[in-house]
Structure 1
Amino acid sequence: MIKLLIVEDEPLERVALRKIIGREFHNIEILEDAKNGTEAIEMAKTQQPNVILMDIRMPESTGIEAQKKIIQFLPNVKCIIITAYNDFIYAQEAIKYGVIDYLLKPAKPQEIKNAIEKALSLNSKLDRNHTTNIFENNSTQQILMEVISYIKQNYKHELRLTEVATMVHLNPQYFSRLFKKELGTTFTDYVTKLRIEEAKTLLKESNLPIYRIAVDLGFSDAAYFSKVFLKYEKESPLEFKKRHEHFEKKRLLSN
């Protein structure tokens, strides 16, 4: 049975979506609704949905922010954004984080049905492990979503553009141009930024030494890690950690 999670802060919207899905699909279990991004993350952890219908602008955490976190522990979930905001920036962000469709409110029942059928089709292909079939329709967006999902699962290890291009059956030079055109950044830059963001989290939330963080995130050594970190954050890892500790102490004292 396919499990589907609705994430929407408007009660009437949740009811309408439930009616449409219940009428059109008999092989889907609709989980308890999430009313904001924080609830969506917790529900995704405990219920492990296959498909998520997600609003963008909600209390506590946006749909994009929630999906960004969900895909880290549930990389194969198929997310469909439903929003009142026709914003290219949102759509571009959505592609980065594994969203398979982007519907504008008020979405027609047929549009919702089509999007869910697309999610079910992708889920079925993944379950059968027919990875090659996913790319046979030459869908640029679909290829990028699969590539990004793979990167997010493996960015702590060595990732070579040529190997990823081969995985999706594309010429490396063409794949490199396609990646830059669609995402506005190079393959290497994208992977590096993921590593730097994870490094910032570890520097703030753990007591791991800098050399250990560097090795764990796939950098060759601490010196190279510090050089790259300085390039992206305009301060060294040690300076970043000390600055965060300083602000945290001030915050605790003020409370």
Structure 2
Amino acid sequence: MLKLMIVDDEPLERLGLRKIIQRDFHNIDLVEDSRNGLEAIENVRKYRPHIILMDISMPELSGLEAQQEIIKLLPNSKTIILTAHSDFNYAQDAIKNGVFDYLLKPVKPVDLNKAIKKAIAALPSPKNTNNNPDKSDDLDANILNSAIEYIENHYFQEISLNAVAEHVHLNPQYFSRYFKKETGMNFTTYVSKLRIEKAKTFLRQTDKPIYRIAVDLGFSDAAYFTKVFNKFENQTPYQYKMEMKQLV
């Protein structure tokens, strides 16, 4: 699972950011908050977050000073700076120190969501987010499980690869390649195969007419359903239904 760390000396700011992230990003693990730059460096070593939300103005060590050390420790991490200063010099300094994005306070939830999604899309592939094979395998499994769970809950609707990619916070092109590598089939084939397996259950266990099963499973019409069913099963839904009845 992707890990995100919040760095801010204001407790209410940290709480507000946590609520937004917990509400909108279910596959992000929020690690322990940091109250200043020194704690941020210590917690980066401890938790190795993929994404960091960090205030610039903090006691002991500023966000940009902390970032100078963080980028050495985690060169692939994405730091999003939060600041009340709109001075262009701050943005220049942030870019020089490897900051990924720059948001002005008070941060709007929609802007925060966009910045986090952009950071997720810019992260290296799941196999490369850390050097621990076990942890990267866990990350792979979490992403794939989340995608499959989403498909299971929406297969009977108009479901697109882009929608699932957005759900797991991955770039659609990368998600398409990743999904095929992990499942052995492309996204469209996977969804079609799932629908056909569900259709076989309905044909065996219910008396629903074929056109009704087609609609319930998200097919545009019975003719297209029959075509797809025949492609996977080498027989029509009606032939399958009759064959199953003879076995009872």
TM-score by length of 2: 0.50
Question: Within 5 A, what are the aligned runs for 1:166-245?
Answer: none
Question: Within 5 A, what are the aligned runs for 1:9-20?
Answer: 9-20=9-20
Deviation (angstroms), 1:125: 4.8
Percent of residue pairs identical: 57
For residue 57 of structure 2, give the secondary structure of its aligned residue in structure 1.
coil
- Counterpart of 2:71 in structure 1 is 71
| Structure 1 residue runs of 4 or more that deviate by more than 6 Å after TM superposition | none
Following the alignment from structure 1 to structure 2, what is the Cα–Cα distance between the partners of residues 116 and 59?
25
Query: Aligned residues, how many?
Result: 129
Equivalent residues of 2:76, 2:124 under 8 A apart: no
- Counterpart of 2:48 in structure 1 is 48
Deviation (angstroms), 1:100: 1.3
Cα distance change on mapping 1:124 and 1:73 into 2, 3 Å: closer
For residue 99 of structure 1, give the secondary structure of its aligned residue in structure 2.
coil
- Counterpart of 2:179 in structure 1 is none
Is 1:25 paired with 2:22? no
Greater Rg by CA: 2
Following the alignment from structure 1 to structure 2, what is the Cα–Cα distance between the partners of residues 21 and 95?
24
Cα distance change on mapping 1:128 and 1:60 into 2, 3 Å: closer
Query: Which sections of structure 1, spanning at least 5 residues, go unmatched?
Result: 130-255
- Counterpart of 2:108 in structure 1 is 108
- Counterpart of 2:243 in structure 1 is none
Cα distance change on mapping 1:21 and 1:95 into 2, 3 Å: same
Cα distance change on mapping 1:47 and 1:128 into 2, 3 Å: closer
TM-score by length of 1: 0.49
Cα distance change on mapping 1:89 and 1:31 into 2, 3 Å: same
Deviation (angstroms), 1:11: 0.5
- Counterpart of 1:38 in structure 2 is 38
Query: Which sections of structure 2, spanning at least 5 residues, go unmatched?
Result: 130-248
AA at the equivalent of 1:89: N
| Cα deviation 1:185-234 (Å, max 9, x = unaligned) | xxxxxxxxxxxxxxxxxxxxxxxxxxxxxxxxxxxxxxxxxxxxxxxxxx
Is 1:84 paired with 2:84? yes
Following the alignment from structure 1 to structure 2, what is the Cα–Cα distance between the partners of residues 40 and 128?
23
AA at the equivalent of 1:120: I
